[in-house]
Amino acid sequence: MLPVKDDPLKRYYSMGEVSEILGVSKSLIRFWESEFDHIKPHKNSKGDRRFTAENVEQLRMVYHLVKERGFTLAGARHEIKEQRDRLRQKIQVLDKMKEIRGFLKELAGSTEEEE
């Protein structure tokens, strides 16, 4: 599997480029796109798919789960959903920690003023 090129000016990857990056056929990418709702590449006026770097990473995740770890498609969908839920929980915890940190800084500042 090839790395996604770190070209900040490159916004979209063609089907052929994604196929080469992942080392899978174009038809498999189209199949995964139909099986996983979260993979939604842009399409140009001719109907050609244009994948963002995020789409490529989503496909990498599917590849990893299905090809490398042996998940079924249903199992991969479930795992991806669970990971999204865990990420959402992590973000909530981080937000709460930032809120507490701000409160503690404010509290420390008011304590210094009293001295």
Alpha helices, DSSP H, located in 1-115: 15-22, 26-35, 53-63, 73-114
Three-state DSSP class for residue 14: strand
Residue-level pLDDT at 88? 80
Residue-level pLDDT at 40? 94
Q: Measuring CA to CA, which residue among 110, 38, 103, 44 is closest to residue 76? A: 38
Residue-level pLDDT at 11? 87
- The one-digit pLDDT tens for each residue of the chain (115 residues) are 655 655 667 789 999 999 999 999 999 999 999 999 999 999 999 999 999 988 998 999 999 999 999 999 999 999 998 888 887 888 889 889 999 999 999 988 877 766 6
**Rounded CA separation 17/52 (Å):** 11
One-letter identity of residue 56 = V
**Rounded CA separation 50/52 (Å):** 7
Q: For residue 50, how many C-alpha atoms fall within 13 Å in the half-sphere facing its CB?
A: 9
Q: Which CATH architecture group holds 1-70? A: Orthogonal Bundle (1.10)
The domains of the chain are located at: 1-70, 72-115
| pTM of the predicted structure, to 2 decimals | 0.71
**Rounded CA separation 14/30 (Å):** 12
